[in-house]
Structure 1
Amino acid sequence: MNGEIPVKRAGRSGRWRAISAAVIAFIFLATFLASSLVVIDQTEVGVVKILGKVQDEPLQPGLHVVTPFITEVVRMPTYEKTMEMVGEQHIKALTSEGLPVYFDMAVQYKIDPLKAPEVYSTLKNYEVWMESRIRAHARDIVAQYKAEDLYTEKREFIQSDFERRLDDEFRPYGILITAVLIRNIDLPESVEKAIQAKIEAKQEAERMQFVVQKEELEAERKEVEAQGIARANQIIGESLRNNPEYIQWYYLQVLDDFAKGDASVIVVPVPSSMYPGVAGNATANIPLILPSR
């Protein structure tokens, strides 16, 4: 009986060694696959580092196989992002008059997928570098304008100037500027009131100019209308002087309407030229037929 016990223990030990080896092999295989397979999302690009060296070609969205253990993949977003400098991080600058101005700024940008390795290797913490450059440009650009320019339609021009300058500097590094927005402008209260008063005065002047132009156009219209009426009266007068028979014809036409029951009778003085039977230039109180209303 003592001879059988060592045989059983040896069998159990062998099975445990086999199981342990299988588990180790499985873990090694899983680790190998996890290190060699990389999935890049649609909204990002992969920067490949082999033994710490950044490779020129980035990994595009999809499944990729890389050399395990010695390869590191850094994911960088390629969608449009917004860098905001608001609140305590707002922009402070001086205008061309030397007045201090504070404002919030939002810069929208995205990384060129093909230049992601260059962005990583050249800048790495690119947002820190971007913010310092944005603030420097803000001081330079605002110094070229007056305080009131930030309140008027020139603000769009200033924003476009910001966008152009930032894009010119950032694009060679692979960072594309899509928009720059200036908001919440804060000036000394006295300056702000003066600017507001100037804007209101300008608006009132434009309104008065519109009123004057409107009155001038109305006067021209009335003058043209009066000329038209005078010309029409002149034409009618000449026509009646040259065609007295027309008045008689019209009178007879009214008589015809009266006969049909479409007119009424009143008694008025009528020149002899309009009614047969009255001699000379005398007038007579005779019935005149007028259309009913």
Structure 2
Amino acid sequence: MALLYNIPLFIGIFVVVIIISSSIKIIREYERAVIFRLGRLLGIKGPGIFFLIPLIDSMIKVDLRTTVIDVSKQRLITKDNVTVDVDAVVYYRVSDPQKAIVQVEDYEDATRLLAQTTLRDILGQVDLDYVLSQRDELNKRIQKILDTATDPWGIKVIAVTIKDVSLPEEMMRAIAKQAEAERERRSRIIMAGGELEASKKMTEAAAYYQKVPMALKLRELQTLTEIAREKNLIVVPSNAFGSIAGFTRAVQMSGIKEEKKQAVKPRKVQAEEGEEFFVE
């Protein structure tokens, strides 16, 4: 019976505990609490522990850490009427929690939509070549525009990065052909420069060989030696054949003269009265 009389007491204690637990709030270091009292802005609290008046005070937590927004792929037309698909990411953080809650309904969604429209606007003002070659410059331009536009919302846009630029298939083939033609042009320029330099060196060498004939002979001998070493051959210069032929002819002529001398010997002839003489 006494227990029945204590039921209201237990209920009261339970209600008090619930009220106290709901009034105690803990905010982390990277968070802030925007406090409203009866619908009116009271201020910002945190980090740490604080108390709210139940049923009178309310709060909204705001994360101050850097947040990444993935801007979905956008199909747009560049200044030179080329259709491309572009996606990007936006890095931002809340710099003023009070403005982020009071000035805009959903600051994250608003920042994402603004990033999409800004991306379309900026890339529609430039040519495709600029989009492909000056991506860093475009990132800076978009970041600056977004940062200025979101400042009244208490948002600080840290960086914008264009992740990917997708081109139509025919445009990719055209760019590949253009790149190949550019590489071929550079290759021809390099080859022409090399040929020009080589012709200058050959002209200088010809003038030097003309002044010093012996240098040309030595160069010929060096070339023949290199060829013989590579092909495992014995190379005899053409002028050496003339010397060998001359030597051979001299030996042959000497042999012929010797044979003639042996063939034409004086022979003894018997004359009348016992006289004898030699006749060649």
Distance 2:104 2:113 in 1: 13
TM-score by length of 1: 0.61
Q: Which amino acid aligns with 1:151?
A: L
- Which residue of the partner structure matches residue 17 of structure 1? 5
Name structure 1 gaps, 5 residues minimum.
1-11, 227-293
The residue that corresponds to 1:134 in the other structure is 115
Q: In 2, are the aligned partners of 1:50 and 1:72 still within 8 Å (CA)?
A: yes
Partner of 1:178: 158
Q: Pick from 102, 107, 112 the counterpart of residue 90 of structure 2.
A: 107
Task: Give distance in 1, aligned partners of 2:193 and 2:158.
Answer: 43
Q: Equivalent residue for 1:196? A: 176
What root-mean-square deviation, in Å, do the aligned CA atoms of Structure 1 and Structure 2 show? 2.8
CA drift of 1:189 comes to 1.6
1:79 matched to which residue of 2?
65
Tell me if structure 2 keeps the 8 A contact 1:79–1:111: yes
TM-score, normalised to structure 2, is 0.63
Shift of 1:209: 6.0
What's the CA shift for 1:79? 0.9
Aligned length: 203
* Closer/same/farther in 2, CA of residues 218 and 46 from structure 1, 3 Å limit: farther
The code of the aligned residue for 1:160 comes to K
| Paired residues of 2:69 and 2:90 also in contact (CA < 8 A) | yes
Distance in 2 between residues matched to 1:61 and 1:81, nearest whole Å: 19
CA contact (8 A) 1:93 1:138 kept: no
Q: Distance in 2 between matches of 1:178 and 1:196?
A: 35
Counterpart residue type for residue 77 of structure 2: L
| 1:21-76 residue CA offsets vs partner (Å, 9 max, x unmatched) | 33122212212212321111223211112112233x31222111222221111112
Change (3 A) 1:205 1:37: farther
- Whole-angstrom distance in 1 between the partners of 2:81 and 2:98: 42
Matches within 5 A, 1:1-293: 12=1, 14-18=2-6, 20-55=7-42, 57-86=43-72, 90-112=73-95, 115-152=96-133, 154-202=134-182, 205=185
AA aligned opposite 2:38: L
Q: Are 1:35 and 1:69, in contact at CA under 8 Å, matched by a contact in 2?
A: no
Does the 8 A contact of 2:99 with 2:152 survive in 1? no
In 2, Cα distance between equivalents of 1:119 and 1:34: 28
Percent identity, aligned pairs only, is 21
Task: Tell me the SS of whatever aligns to 2:18.
Answer: helix
> Residue type matched to 1:23 in 2?
F
Task: Determine helix, strand or coil for the equivalent of 2:45.
Answer: coil
**Higher gyration radius (CA):** 2
CA drift of 1:212 comes to: 7.3
SS at match of 1:58: strand
In structure 1, C-alpha distance between the alignment counterparts of 2:164 and 2:21, rounded to whole Å: 49
Aligned position for 2:236 = none
Once residues 48 and 193 of structure 2 are traced to their aligned partners in structure 1, the CA distance between those partners, rounded to angstroms, is 66
Measured against aligned partners, the alpha-carbon deviations of 1:153-175 in whole angstroms (never above 9, x if no partner) come to x1111111111111111123211
Summarize the Cα distance change of 1:53–1:132 in structure 2 as closer, same or farther, 3 Å threshold.
Answer: same
Do the aligned partners of residues 209 and 63 (structure 1) sit closer, same or farther apart at CA in structure 2, a change above 3 Å counting?
Answer: farther
**Paired residue secondary structure (1:67):** coil
| Aligned-residue offset at 1:80 | 1.0
Letter in 1 for 2:78: T
Deviation at 1:216?
Answer: 8.8
Report the CA distance between 1:206 and its aligned residue: 5.4
Per-residue Cα deviation, 1:86-112 (whole angstroms, up to 9, x for no partner): 3xxx11221001222111111111111
Q: 1:140 to 1:21 in 2, by over 3 A?
A: same
